Structure 1
């Protein structure tokens, strides 16, 4: 594997770090001008060309600095925040040209297709373009607002010649470098070709550069600014928090099908995920196995890894983004180039090798802002597999040690009993109070389970913790008496009185069967908790590098000998069923007990209209699915991706407010739905909406179409007004009101 040692060496001068950090802080504080707000011409173009009513604060901060001050920018923008608009809007607004550099050809192709659907001219220069000379000519004639390039093309001889030529002949507005963390070897996804992009400053010295990435620590940000030679850059950063995410971690069992059913929904006679889903695995073999298993469960599923032919990978990718596949089971070779906003679940069946990688992988979920689940299943074998891959792939000792430090944070993440969202945000040096989010993650949900169901989990204290001290001492005693020479399952079998012949020598053991009152799951989970609390430790057996021994630590021995010491902590999700009081064991399906994981499919349709009845909510969900199906058919006809026709949010708004004319559809300011798209596709949606018109009460109509405050009319005229706003003609209103 290529040596990824940084050009600047392992150690940075602290004074340099502090100096750059101070400059960034000063820029953030002093550069914000309260009078620097978008003008009506900017907002009009935004709505007309991109279908949005307003810029997000950070978007305008970046765009305004480019348009008004021609300033370099380094921006860390969480996935789904709208970073593409920051480099697409300036040249579309001015009639100039933006050069967009990205390592992901599939993502560039999707963005170009999306722009063309909106009548914004864009092109790609790279190996995927088979008509290069024609494209060169059209670029020189200023026919494109956005030109997408690969870093390899920019660094090549022909690319360098063209960039120098364009700097003198084209009205260049901006150079945008997407996935800018690839510049830095301090990051998790270093690309050598990105390191050469600093030459752009010399080739095109007078054009502002925007470097954007979704994840970057302070050291990576500084490396980006230095390598790309950004001049007095404005630094901007969104929160790393994705409030629509639910985080959970589970231990793998010996039955993957059982693991997956924990996070699936049973509809009719089939198991389904709550929406489009990506399952990540560490090895190619595991992707094949899990894909076959999920297909047997009735899901429309396919594997994706680098060992498959590129044609098969491309077809699988396209089927998924076109809603023809429900699930992709993949290695991390899949995902960076995907542009699908409505992914509801990202599942890791095997842990990532760093928090940065993990957060970028889960960042592919919920980019439409709707609820999404980020679920991890892990075992200790995952960490051993990553250790093996490090030894095999990292020849450089310093780089190997860096990767070992990075995966240690992953180990802490999966083992923590604190808020997982807080853990991730703290890693990215961000403080955020998530105490008011009771479904923030599985650990936070455990507390809610107790506080809202104290009669069910009677053995938990007010903080949702359980006193494991008695059982912990029992397990430690067994381990101690067996000389710390076995794996966890052997200890558990002895505790539970297993009759396996290989355990015959323990049948007269004093503690044999002492723990038979608790389930195997209980003891396994308790063992994991005790490792987390440093009472036990795992080690590799000398006789077999793949065998794990469980041994007692010094802290564990002190705990065993001191009866006053306690193990008071949160039980795992798997333990909660064992803690229900007997009177609540046979709960019916109408129980108010929160489920182990929020259902994203249900959350999508929870009504914010208090007057909406359950039947009306069901009707809206049905209408939403009809509109989604229609969108798929339109996209197939247009040879584009469904979200390019209309976003999920726009479809949800249509299903809720049910416009009956194109004019109504336009005045509703539906998310991302421009006049161009409404004129192109609106009639197809109206056919569905008019066929499924719902008769709303006058009270609902009054809430749906609020009267402008300047209107001073009688109550009777008010009723006629909202009927007219709902799409009825004057003749229909007259007939209805007699």
Structure 2
């Protein structure tokens, strides 16, 4: 390509980002951009969206313009790029005129490869940026958080609509739009409103396999939250609340208990908001308690947990907010506290909107969010199905899956609790019900209630047991809460059916967080702490967030493989040549000292070559070898100790890379038939196609036929 600085995208990835191979469909997306096609990318948070335009930016001679919604996100990304040796800058209202003039001169002289701006910068003010852009060598435009252009998205921003005008001004330049979450309506809006031409869609799996999803009843939420935070003592996390008041109260409660927490909401002075955010980004504060206004501008890779103290309005918002955890791919937790009252409150807020079509769409989204909280099937399966992605089998990494096979016969205590509720004519909440059930002498109880047959029958069990049992009965659909300010408990039709049939009531046991944790333990914890301390000191001195120096997964690999020379240090994920030169000696010095003190032996990290990164992963290469030797999918899976689905994914990738022909699994007529049906349908997902063909083709066969088209 005669207008590029680098010839090979893999060369850019290795030298500047420190990775030996692209993930998922990053390579195909980059190829689309380099072929000057408009491209739309739907990829989960942490999936590597930014690489899809940052790598092409280093290959094009001119400037890449990145449109991003929040100033703080721009600064973090620019800091990270500069730390990797990539010349990047941002322009926004926080800079002085002299700073902005200097950056403009750097752009004019070709010294800046990526420029980050907010969309309103394009056309607003005395000197709209659009006029300046027409005078420079603009090669690529990237639109981050592209769902903001759609009124059907969960974060519509009117200023994004102006980007369509930008497209008209630069008809020959490729545009790439990226988002982590968008339903069918939003996806169509993105293409239409941005004015993209002959665009190519790339849709990655929505599965964030490193995130553990949990939903629990909101009762005693603070007690449950404190238990949860005790498990995450050293970790960074975000706690979302519905109102500013809840944010202030929750942050104050955590601070009173000695936890490192700060509030963030639109009602705080701008200086305080920015200061709190900076302290969180730099790991000087561990917990940010916030409204949903917080997080979209955060590029912090080592957030280990996200908590929702209230149910979000829709699954798109929930998915994006929980996706802020574990962006580095390490195990992370998402915890949601649910109550029926939240659904009622959110519904009333929606009813205040004037556009009835908007209200109807959002009410439907709210109902689906409520169903997610109440579901008894694998939560990951529910999420993926919502986005039109098939997920066969359970994930084994959510609260529903943890509880399977761990159900106890709770018939007798459940009957006691249900009976007490009925005897009280379903007019009271759990507090009053427990006063009766446990035989309280409280003056709140009337003589009539003290004379009930259920009075005192549950006194041999603690209050916490009964509250937990009540939560489980709500979760399993036996009980429902009615009312607003003081919700009362009522038996559902399902509960009456169970009682009449005299079936046993089997309820899931509470799982221990420590039992279900899948945190890696192969590393040396003491060394990891020392490396984090060094990283923090370097970050403080450099004025950047710690993850800009090295991400958590890089430190984990260092604390596992113990690299003590430059070649082995360069094998660590996320360590490029610039970072190795800048920080390598300091980190290897700590590793050498710890290794000598504890008499440890370095481990060799096996990976693909740094000089010529392989287009296939090492694992896929083994699958390819076995397939060419004549093994079928099940034989390969059995021989390699992996699931058939993983082998199928390998084979689909090989078809996409033309290492295997689609006709190895389908006739030419079948391939053509599937492709024609796919082009005719108004969707980029496979589910409608599978419903169209029924059992004629498997999902694997559909993916094979469409490997080169999706």
- Is TM more than 0.5 here? yes
SS at match of 1:418: coil
Identify the structure with bigger relative contact order (alpha carbons < 8 Å, sequence gap 6+): 2
Q: Cα distance, 1:106 vs. partner?
A: 0.4
191, 194, 204: which is aligned to 2:170?
A: 204
How does 1:150-299 map onto structure 2 within 5 Å?
Answer: 150-156=118-124, 162-163=129-130, 166-167=133-134, 169-254=135-220, 256=222, 258-265=223-230, 273-299=233-259
How does 1:147-546 map onto structure 2 within 5 Å?
Answer: 147-156=115-124, 162-163=129-130, 166-167=133-134, 169-254=135-220, 256=222, 258-265=223-230, 273-391=233-351, 394-435=353-394, 437-438=395-396, 440-447=397-404, 463-503=405-445, 504-532=447-475, 535-540=478-483, 545-546=484-485
Residues 232/677 of structure 1: CA separation in 2 closer, same or farther (3 Å cut): same
TM-score, with structure 2 as normaliser: 0.78
78, 85, 98: which is aligned to 2:51?
A: 85
SS at match of 2:585: helix
Q: Cα distance, 1:310 vs. partner?
A: 0.8
538, 551, 564: which is aligned to 1:660?
A: 564
Q: Deviations over 1:575-618 (max 9, x none)?
A: x7xxxxxxxxxxxxxxxxx6466446xx23x22xxxxxxxxx5x
34, 37, 59: which is aligned to 1:71?
A: 37
- In structure 2, stretches of 5+ residues that fail to align are 1-5, 610-710
Q: Cα distance, 1:204 vs. partner?
A: 0.7
CA contact (8 A) 2:264 2:294 kept: yes
CA contact (8 A) 1:265 1:273 kept: yes
Measured on the aligned residues, the alpha-carbon RMSD in Å equals 2.8
Instruction: Answer yes or no: is 1:672 the counterpart of 2:631.
Output: no
- In structure 1, stretches of 5+ residues that fail to align are 1-38, 267-271, 448-462, 577-593, 608-616, 709-738
Q: Deviations over 1:204-242 (max 9, x none)?
A: 111111010001112211111111121121111111111
Q: Equivalents in 2 of 1:694, 1:42: separation in Å? A: 39
CA contact (8 A) 2:251 2:262 kept: yes
CA contact (8 A) 1:472 1:567 kept: no
What is the number of residues matched between the two proteins? 600
Q: Equivalents in 1 of 2:226, 2:323: separation in Å? A: 23
Residue equivalent to 1:9? none
Q: Cα distance, 1:536 vs. partner?
A: 4.1
Q: Equivalents in 2 of 1:566, 1:499: separation in Å? A: 34
Residues 551/88 of structure 1: CA separation in 2 closer, same or farther (3 Å cut): same
CA contact (8 A) 1:97 1:144 kept: yes
Instruction: Answer yes or no: is 1:139 the counterpart of 2:107.
Output: yes
Q: Equivalents in 2 of 1:408, 1:567: separation in Å? A: 30
Q: Deviations over 1:468-501 (max 9, x none)?
A: 5555554444444433333333333323322222
Q: Equivalents in 1 of 2:478, 2:560: separation in Å? A: 55
Q: Cα distance, 1:313 vs. partner?
A: 0.9
Q: Cα distance, 1:687 vs. partner?
A: 2.4
Q: Cα distance, 1:546 vs. partner?
A: 1.3
Residues 195/696 of structure 1: CA separation in 2 closer, same or farther (3 Å cut): same
Residues 697/481 of structure 1: CA separation in 2 closer, same or farther (3 Å cut): closer
Q: Cα distance, 1:364 vs. partner?
A: 0.9
Q: Equivalents in 2 of 1:144, 1:103: separation in Å? A: 20
Q: Equivalents in 1 of 2:336, 2:379: separation in Å? A: 12
Residues 470/159 of structure 1: CA separation in 2 closer, same or farther (3 Å cut): farther
Q: Deviations over 1:637-676 (max 9, x none)?
A: 222221121222222222223333335423xx22222211
Q: Equivalents in 1 of 2:40, 2:485: separation in Å? A: 45
Residues 210/279 of structure 1: CA separation in 2 closer, same or farther (3 Å cut): same
Q: Equivalents in 2 of 1:211, 1:123: separation in Å? A: 20
Q: Cα distance, 1:199 vs. partner?
A: 1.3
CA contact (8 A) 2:36 2:173 kept: yes
SS at match of 1:547: coil
CA contact (8 A) 1:163 1:204 kept: no
Instruction: Answer yes or no: is 1:646 the counterpart of 2:550.
Output: yes
Q: Deviations over 1:278-304 (max 9, x none)?
A: 111112222222222222322222111
Q: Cα distance, 1:265 vs. partner?
A: 3.5
Q: Equivalents in 2 of 1:550, 1:633: separation in Å? A: 54
1, 5, 9: which is aligned to 1:42?
A: 9
CA contact (8 A) 2:411 2:506 kept: no
Residue equivalent to 1:35? none
Q: Equivalents in 2 of 1:371, 1:355: separation in Å? A: 21
CA contact (8 A) 1:49 1:118 kept: yes
Q: Equivalents in 2 of 1:528, 1:703: separation in Å? A: 49
